[in-house]
Structure 1
Amino acid sequence: MYTIPGPGKYVREAGLLEEVGSYIKEFGDSALFIGGKTALSVVETKVKNSLDNDKVENKGFEWYGGECSWSQVERLSQIVQEKKPQVIVAVGGGKAIDTVKAVAYAVKLPVLAIPTIAATCAPATPIAIMYDDEGTFIEISHRSKAPSVVLVDSDVIAKASHRFLVAGIGDTLAKWFESSVSVKKSQPTALNRSAVKLANELYHLLLEKGPSAVETIKQGRVDQSVNDVIDSIILISGSVSGYGGDDCRTAAAHAIYSGLTIFPEIHDTYHGEIVAFGILSQLVLEGRSEEEIRELIAFYQKVELPYTLEDMAVKDLTPEDWKRLGEVTVEIEDMANMPFAVTPDMVVHAVQGADQIGRKVKQQ
């Protein structure tokens, strides 16, 4: 048995960007930064100063390409081989960080992660979620390297749009709903039992502190509720996957997320926002009561998560669209983690059912 529980070190504090050089220095004397355009622009000045102070050679700042795709991984791997840094630093959100983790695996270099938003657990996991160049989900790849260090500057997180934190809450809620069903197919062990307990604690913590954290981050401030939610989204959520491994993976909520990405109009909706709707659909798929689903929607309303298809700009689907959604979704590997077989018709019924409940809530 072996598992990769997460990053080697996790540090979260205000003003941390000013100390980045000292953390890089533990792994090498030169660094190449790869990330999102906005993310790189946010960190560049402070990072350059820190590199100078700690005498770390700056090998430059490269855009990751906009999609976590194999073509971008290949392109960036060639750039790394040309520039020959000793350390790679991933900067930005989930797609950027996953891309760089895949590059680090390919070129066999240590990777540090600087998330500039708290929207997914990508900085704290050893896997990469891969898409094609148009943004349609392809696979969950293990050709990816867990960061040696995750550096979270809470000042940077606070300056980002509150929607990113909301999306992170949606993605993290799924840890409980998905791990609690995916683990049913496995023999109970110390690791998977602990992972599910941790996921349940995350769920309750987000219910308790999520609304306050969102209101605080809207004001560009950080308090303990914000810190707790940041840590939950990035580190603790990633630890559920780390401890639970293949027993506690994503399930129908993420499969439905991936299926919905076939519709281009949804690409302006963030990953965790779509996953949140996927949770509602999974609950319908499981046969949960409408009352239970409405209770979760009530929380969604407090933190501004979407709970209808129209909230995500998806509307006027044709019968052919629905057929394609069902067929694509059941082929997503996440769906195989459900404790029962799922057909395309069941997916369509679940998504339509969740949307119908959401629309009824809106009409009240």
Structure 2
Amino acid sequence: MRENYSVYLPQYSVGPQCYDEIGAVTRYFGKKVTIIGGKTALQKAESSIKKAIDKTDLEYLDTVWYGGNSTENNLKAMLNHEAVKNADIIFGVGGGRAVDTAKAAADTLDKAYFSFPTVASNCAPTSAISVLYNDDGSLSRYYFTKKCPLHVFINTKIIADSPEELLWAGIGDALSKECEVELATRGKALFHTPLIGLKAAAACTDPLLEFGEEALRSIRKKHPGFEFTQVILDIIVSTGIASNMTCSAVNNKIEYYYNSSLAHCFYNAYMALPQGHDYRHGAVVSYGVLVLLTYDGQIEMRDKIAAFNKKLGLPVTLEEIGISEEHEIDVIIEKAPEINEWTCVPYKADQKKYKEAILAVNEYGKSL
């Protein structure tokens, strides 16, 4: 444990008029702004962001498409783009991969960075991690930024106009936070920062179970009501706080990592399958949550989450994530020990037991 360290927590503005806060929030960080984002996200949010910029002393330089995926090569393209290099401030607009690319570029170039999520599918807008991929879609690495985004502008009206499937997957992804952090930290002598992260993670599950169904009804109506807002804050903010407090890296070398465990291990190993890109990250992770709970013997909680998954249409069987052959499960089992999260358990992980858990979830899911 280092004697001196800094902790950065996400600040955020939320609501349909939250872009009105851009001037007050950014005034201390420079003048020149470049926007990086996804195509659909920019269609929905760029004009509103630029109108807000016009009311400030900021100077808008350019809007840059991030490239379509948070790959190493797309990151390099951002680093070499003149408008990105000349900016004081970077606005990252869109879903997880767009904001991860913008976040990593801003961190590399030492620019002030602000997130503008247009969907609620994960905690990328608030976290101090960018997930980077190779051009073939396989995982390249986790890029740990020096600090989390300086501020997150959560426009509930814009997010309410996003695809229901992305919120649905975001709920599945957020379901993993509490059980993964609890498992990864169990038995550890936690000092202040990860201890607070553990407690933050404990606040992630119940709002999803209580408000998740209504939030999906709200997004179908494009109505950002109370329940909808509680769920997107859970997905974007609560999980982001837990993530930032439960992992640390120095010069991109992991110091401690309690942010995830066997649920994301399942997802990352699953990505070795040809159908890995056919299913939403959060959907596959939600099945991984059931695997984790089964593996760890938390059967009562497994059954509770499985019933919730079934109600929302999240996966409870292997067929629902495109697995029909045993050899496909074996690919996951063989890949799992290569995944960082395989070691994020309080005991030695066992491949045979992991396979048994995967199959047990499938059998239970068929009974629902």
Q: CA deviation at 1:184?
A: 1.6
* Amino acid in the other structure paired with 1:257: Y
Please state which structure has a larger fraction of its residues in helix: 1
Match of residue 156 from structure 1: 158
Q: Does 1:339 align with 2:346?
A: yes
Alignment of 1:188-199 (within 5 A): 188-199=190-201
2-structure distance, mates of 1:140, 1:10: 24
- Structure 2 SS opposite 1:61: strand
Match of 1:311 among 295, 310, 320: 320
Kept in 1, the 8 Å contact 2:35–2:92? The answer is yes
**TM-score, normalised via structure 1 length:** 0.91
Kept in 2, the 8 Å contact 1:102–1:143? The answer is yes
Kept in 2, the 8 Å contact 1:323–1:344? The answer is no
Match of residue 281 from structure 1: 291
Kept in 2, the 8 Å contact 1:102–1:145? The answer is no
Alignment of 1:61-80 (within 5 A): 61-80=63-82
**TM-score, normalised via structure 2 length:** 0.90
Q: CA deviation at 1:25?
A: 4.1
* Amino acid in the other structure paired with 1:279: V
Q: CA deviation at 1:36?
A: 1.1
2-structure distance, mates of 1:304, 1:80: 45
- Structure 1 SS opposite 2:203: helix
Q: Deviations over 1:221-280 (max 9, x none)?
A: 112111111111111111112223335320000111111112242323222221111101
Match of residue 126 from structure 2: 124
Q: CA deviation at 1:160?
A: 0.6
2-structure distance, mates of 1:56, 1:195: 35
Name the % identity.
28
Kept in 2, the 8 Å contact 1:34–1:61? The answer is yes
Match of residue 332 from structure 2: 325
Q: CA deviation at 1:322?
A: 3.1
Q: CA deviation at 1:135?
A: 2.0
Match of 1:360 among 353, 356, 367: 367
Identify unmatched segments of 5+ residues in structure 1: none
2-structure distance, mates of 1:58, 1:81: 10
Q: CA deviation at 1:83?
A: 5.2
Quickly say closer, same or farther: Cα 1:129–1:3, change in 2 above 3 A: farther
- Structure 1 SS opposite 2:128: coil
Q: How many residues align?
A: 357
Match of residue 139 from structure 1: 141
Alignment of 1:109-258 (within 5 A): 109-143=111-145, 145-245=147-247, 246=256, 248-258=258-268
Deviates more, 1:272-281 or 1:185-194: 185-194
Cα RMSD of the aligned pairs, angstroms, is: 2.1
1-structure distance, mates of 2:313, 2:228: 16
Match of residue 281 from structure 2: 271
2-structure distance, mates of 1:188, 1:103: 32
Q: CA deviation at 1:144?
A: 5.9
Quickly say closer, same or farther: Cα 1:188–1:40, change in 2 above 3 A: same
